[in-house]
């Protein structure tokens, strides 16, 4: 049984999907890797502020995201983040055990959690060091981790740009990997490190399997959608560049002592 979602969530998700896929040229592979029901973590590389929007747009199921408080607490954006069920990650807390518990509870009730384990945007097509949060979620729940490779989002919305370009983007979901649930409160450091490295390898493979597509001609019926999308996407993207902090501290969801 799928968790119920509010009508606000469904409307916001529908608008995001229609606008983003109308404006951007997105090719998606492997959507069947996302379980049709039950909790799962979708973990991807992070090259642009577009990445979360893209995941929300293409996912066959609603996705809840972990959002840094710099963005979450913005007076204009906060109502939307709350309606979308986003989980705030508070920079003023050293390890964000509360965010970890909220994410675990969401997973155990059958929801999808979207996370970008690098913790902040890294451009250039390479995967940087990932943080412990994704491994903690996998080990505390025993639920699948679905790796996601995204290519082209950094080029679609490069540094210094006031709005994204209608650039081709590829998204590839790799096969889910499940790890044995750790029943004890404390997760051994060795097991945590091994799981984190395995997930990192999954992300590297997903990224390597995600070739950037060539630009394609748009069907005539999409020209009107593109026009309307441009009128919304461009101002919204410009606004996000004003509110987003490009050097957000990477998400740290906890260590052995944070899951209390």
Annotated domain spans of the chain? 7-253
244 near 120, Cβ under 8 Å? Answer: no
Query: So what's the pLDDT on residue 13?
Result: 73
CA-based nearest residue to 40, from 140, 139, 112, 99: 112
pLDDT digits (tens), the chain, 260 positions: 455 566 766 777 777 777 677 777 888 999 999 999 999 999 999 888 888 888 988 999 989 988 877 777 777 778 878 877 888 887 555 556 788 889 999 999 999 999 998 877 776 667 878 888 899 999 999 999 999 999 988 888 887 777 777 788 999 999 999 999 998 888 999 999 999 999 999 999 999 998 876 766 555 545 555 666 666 666 656 555 554 433 333 344 444 444 33
pLDDT at residue number 80: 77
Beta-carbon contacts of residue 242 (< 8 Å; ≥ 6 apart): none
Contact 132/253 with Cβ under 8 angstroms?
yes
Return the bridge partners of 173, or none: 148
Nearest to residue 112, comparing CAs of 86, 135, 82?
A: 86
Residues 119 and 121: their CA atoms lie apart, in Å, by 7
| pLDDT at res. 168 | 87
What secondary structure does DSSP assign to 217-239, as a single string? PPPTTHHHHHHHHHHHHHHHHHH
**Which pTM was predicted?**
0.80
DSSP letter for 168, please: E
Both tokens of 11, joined, read 């409307």
Contact 162, 233 (CB under 8 A): no
pLDDT of residue 164: 78
- Matching residue, tokens 């996601």: 148
Query: What was the pLDDT predicted at 91?
Result: 59
Give the CATH number of domain 7-253: 3.40.1130
């Amino acid at each position: 049984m799928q968790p119920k979602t509010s009508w606000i969530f469904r409307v916001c998700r529908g608008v995001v999907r229609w606008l983003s896929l109308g404006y951007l040229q997105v090719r998606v592979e492997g959507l069947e890797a996302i379980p049709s029901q039950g909790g799962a973590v979708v973990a991807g590389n992070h090259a642009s502020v577009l990445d979360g929007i893209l995941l929300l747009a293409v996912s066959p199921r609603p996705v809840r995201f972990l959002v840094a408080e710099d963005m979450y607490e913005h007076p204009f954006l906060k109502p939307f983040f709350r309606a979308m069920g986003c989980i705030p990650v508070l920079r003023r807390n050293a390890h964000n055990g509360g965010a970890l518990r909220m994410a675990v509870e969401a997973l155990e009730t059958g929801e999808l959690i979207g996370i970008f384990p690098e913790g902040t945007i890294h451009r250039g097509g390479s995967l940087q060091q990932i943080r412990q949060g994704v491994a903690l979620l996998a080990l505390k729940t025993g639920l699948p981790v679905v790796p996601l490779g995204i290519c082209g989002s950094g080029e679609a919305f490069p540094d210094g740009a006031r709005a994204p370009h209608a650039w081709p983007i590829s998204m590839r979901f790799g096969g889910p990997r499940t790890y044995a649930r750790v029943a004890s409160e404390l997760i051994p450091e060795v097991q945590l490190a091994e799981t984190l490295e395995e997930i990192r390898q999954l992300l590297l493979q997903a990224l390597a399997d995600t070739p950037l597509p060539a630009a394609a001609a748009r069907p005539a019926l999409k020209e009107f959608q593109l026009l309307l999308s441009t009128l919304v996407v461009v101002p919204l993207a410009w606004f996000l560049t004003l509110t987003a902090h490009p050097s957000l501290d990477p998400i740290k969801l906890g260590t052995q002592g944070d899951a209390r």
